Structure 1
């Protein structure tokens, strides 16, 4: 869809090129022939390729409608189109592989196949369950999920049911959901039968069908190639064999292609993505120009140094195509390394640190907490809720699906005709005031605050469009419609919680990497050197999301009072400090006392006396302090102030053994008596 948002005055090619560094300018000036851009994290790759397209259009080397820029997310495609419009270059097609293929499939299907395009089945679960049932397999929800993922891998890897057993063996795959390779192969075949009987296709079929049409119909291939003459492929390290096959058919025998990627951010191998197409590009195109973008404009030298160290320790698993980043920003704070007693303590420690950053002026929307598995989010959500810190779970309800957003957009659409000559931001404020927006944020938390934040993000977007594009109400509505289609949500004020995979392509001022321990990163399921190497790259991706503040942490135990057997991730060997955080959890006692005084009914003075006693016991017995009594148990004691052993024994974290060993001493501390702790006799 073409936006009718008025663009700024066109920039000259000289102005465009002057805004780039030397390496980015080399990209922008390479307008013809094969070009491979090896772009490190934060090096401005999107800027380089959008300016390259703009420069090509401005000089007449390209006609905007003949350029197809392929991205891996609808959000990235929307952002690229928005940037090009800001440069005064509308009309360039920026789409995902699937969106571009579906557009072509819908256009050519009536003439190439006949009739209408079959309905796309958005979710495979029902189809997989039925196929499993026909084979007599007992498939539960988890098994269906794993089998669906294996089907997707086979299809994007161009592996048929007949070839599956041989190819999967070669790739070191072990089937899925506990079923062997031959069973999965049979399931693949039956799955296709179920689809055919229902008259539906899946998302992978969109690409497969377009590949088939382009391969068999020379006239269709010729028409596509007349339309698109210049190709740009972003995140090329994540291309699958199926996507590469489609790209080859789009190109034909032409060589007008620019690929951009970073082998160090290859984190989707399990889905069939492979960096081989990126690393082999200069071999496939002997005269290809290769440009490296190494200047990191995103992160401080401290963050960049840590990222480089993590990659450097990859040894022989580090690709020669990997980029070593060179920091361009001024120096910032050192990365923090924190060890906590358990996951609950870690989550609370992160929440406390977020509160401190917010007090120092870092907006919540510029803070993210990243983790390896979605199961880690629960403790973090609870800790943030307890601290009164708003958050958003990336991958949760989509912004444009929220009720208040849908209602607000409807109201704004209705105001287009009646807006007159009034400034667009003023009209937006008047309209949204009727929907509950106010200039000042509400003091209430929860749903009331979340609703206001959604509406406020629309107000902020209106201000931005008015400033950058002089947009009117019609332009705002067009932008909102395009963003809704691409799920390119405006910024919402709240801490982001996301998995490391979901965080790729994003960045924040402050990033917390939670659970960076053996068993979580690398995850215990990662087997073999290649899988471990990919887990290292996940950590690299997480680190490079941070612009300035970075904290890496883990909990020694999973549960409160659990066995403290965890260790820092092997990827941080030689990096994690030997003293301080690695030896024992760091304590900001002044902050903890303040938190106790403000947010808890616990007696802060008693809490400190109990902790002093616990340290004496730990020293005398040679045990870590947290194995005596956990902080949460000390807080419970300082809150309840039990007077008898019976009352003490019912508190969380006090079992029979601890009651017998420490009960009398704890009661004495509560009474304010001096307690003499002696080392146990030999």
Structure 2
């Protein structure tokens, strides 16, 4: 299903737009009028379907581009939608987040309705929440402030006032944050609003609330918005909060031109007020709605898709779409048990390094975990393994000083650019003074991070040049315009490094290889998930993690937190019946096949030699083979090829006693295999 044009951005014939789609996606594109509900599973091409729907509507004359408002939940997703529409030859469609669209409208109408400029937006709630707590005499630390700020956001997104909070939280069996009772939180919400009023600021929820009030109270404002936007599309509709749904209803009025897209199995933001209720209840609330299901998974291998379906099937998750894999068979999903967190981080770093050596780009590898506090161990392990990484959720790319300085240099160079010099060469010349070089620096840390950021700009320049038609080559001015647009949407270019991210932050992204780490009770599901609904959401979160992988997927957990600690952890209940049988030390046939399948040809030969050696030791000692060394340990030896006792000791499953007994023999086998290779 590839779509090619003679030149990027050239308008397409309507038939060409439809030809790029599968039957269900085509059904979406043809559903141009009336209420439409698209239930789209992970990897089923929903963005393709909805952007082609808009493009088809524009090309057939059903829509004026400026009458369409497409709303999604992240600036990155909105930017991607605009890029795809541009590539389809459609300009003028507004694709924005809820808050960006609301802020634009509020900024336009405020001077006309209220007068003057709208209030300044409070970027972060923490300071105002802390001040509210101080006024009430409530003792809080930084963690409590963060939790209380999240509770304020939940209440406002759920359209719950301070007066109604106590009753609403109790009725939903919502535990109070940081040990404070519901009555205290209710008082704090009221005090928080007072602090904002005194400071003359509003928060992001207020942007939606104030616009909704303006639309509801001033008919001429509502009429003007509705005359501008006649066709609405909302992506990720399972993440809509009551506040957002309320604003959407005011935008729509009594019209029916609404298309929503979502997946109930990916509802993972209930803590912010999101609810899948609006998606699942859409046909009842919009009589006559056309419901279309997208279940063909083009992203992941059958092995990954099978696990994803099984994760949901074994739980209480209802209304789940069963995905149907469309790609050829791939490597088996790997399951690994480690002794401790340090061993898990080192093992995953070694696997990532091997994937990079085998030709997988670092930017196509991700390590995903439940809590941000888990990232430190992987940062250290990847650094030790010499593998570049980036932490998603850290400092934004376009907020970095080195990136801002580089953009300033490029903007200045664009004013006097040599039209005869290829744009990528100009970019390289400019960025030489900003920390870029042909080869990456050997040093780690800030120096390497700066080079990688500059290299991302170089890569974007190369991509733009390659996409430009021969008769209109890309210019430095065009690159600066692209960077300006991306900065506004926080749509960063690809940085070549393994991505470290929480499962929540990974939503909407995908990689060739994904490591799901920390798959143990207490982390997955998180210990804070005390209700059935909370546990169900944690299962959906695991499903989201699984479906991020295209080809390689490995799930792991550590039996203890620290080296030498008690092995008290248990793997997550969500994988009961799915994790290969490890009752015999991990040497069952399924796990053995998986361990070998992960290795290259030379490493697999060493793995087989190590297994033969283990069999001979087992016969001599009259003990089961798995008591000598497990298959996972043999695979790690074959993969890492230790050259010393110290390196051997770092491998999971080899303690001092086994090093004394088998260490020299193992090193000899590795050395012999190395000579053979």
TM-score range, shorter chain: 0.7 to 0.9
8 A contact 1:555–1:566 mirrored in 2: yes
1:503 lines up with 2:506 in the alignment: yes
Matches within 5 A, 1:454-533: 454-470=453-469, 471-533=474-536
Displacement, 1:202? Answer: 0.7
Displacement, 1:485? Answer: 1.2
CA distance, structure 1, for counterparts of residue 629 and residue 213 of structure 2: 65
RMSD of the alignment, in Å?
A: 3.3
2:671 aligns with none
Change (3 A) 1:221 1:355: same
Matches within 5 A, 1:267-666: 267-314=268-315, 317-320=316-319, 322-422=320-420, 423-470=422-469, 471-579=474-582, 583=586, 638-639=645-646
1:150 lines up with 2:151 in the alignment: yes
- Stretches of structure 2 lacking an aligned partner (at least 5 in a row): 1-6, 604-609, 631-635, 666-677
8 A contact 1:296–1:326 mirrored in 2: yes
1:141 aligns with 142
2:198 aligns with 197
CA distance, structure 2, for counterparts of residue 182 and residue 528 of structure 1: 22
Number of residue pairs matched by the alignment: 626
8 A contact 1:339–1:581 mirrored in 2: no
8 A contact 1:568–1:576 mirrored in 2: no
Q: For residues 103-139 of structure 1, give each alpha carbon's deviation from its aligned partner in whole angstroms, at most 9, with x where no partner exists.
A: 1111111121222211111111111111111111101
| Range with greater deviation from structure 2 (428-437 or 81-90) | 428-437
Q: For residues 42-86 of structure 1, give each alpha carbon's deviation from its aligned partner in whole angstroms, at most 9, with x where no partner exists.
A: 000001101111111111111111110001001111111111111
Q: For residues 446-484 of structure 1, give each alpha carbon's deviation from its aligned partner in whole angstroms, at most 9, with x where no partner exists.
A: 333322222221122122223334432222111101111
Displacement, 1:439? Answer: 3.4
- Stretches of structure 1 lacking an aligned partner (at least 5 in a row): 1-5, 596-604, 626-630, 642-650, 653-658, 673-682
Displacement, 1:406? Answer: 1.6
Change (3 A) 1:410 1:670: closer
Change (3 A) 1:285 1:427: same
1:21 lines up with 2:22 in the alignment: yes
CA distance, structure 1, for counterparts of residue 559 and residue 497 of structure 2: 28
Change (3 A) 1:511 1:114: same
Secondary structure of the 2:179 match is coil
Matches within 5 A, 1:120-131: 120-131=121-132
Change (3 A) 1:668 1:120: closer
Q: For residues 332-352 of structure 1, give each alpha carbon's deviation from its aligned partner in whole angstroms, at most 9, with x where no partner exists.
A: 000000001011111111011
1:42 aligns with 43
1:85 lines up with 2:81 in the alignment: no
CA distance, structure 1, for counterparts of residue 400 and residue 188 of structure 2: 38
2:120 aligns with 119
Q: For residues 375-408 of structure 1, give each alpha carbon's deviation from its aligned partner in whole angstroms, at most 9, with x where no partner exists.
A: 1111111111111111000011111122332222
**TM-score normalised by the chain length of structure 2:** 0.86
CA distance, structure 1, for counterparts of residue 321 and residue 581 of structure 2: 28
**TM-score normalised by the chain length of structure 1:** 0.86
Displacement, 1:424? Answer: 2.4
Displacement, 1:536? Answer: 0.3
2:674 aligns with none
1:259 aligns with 260
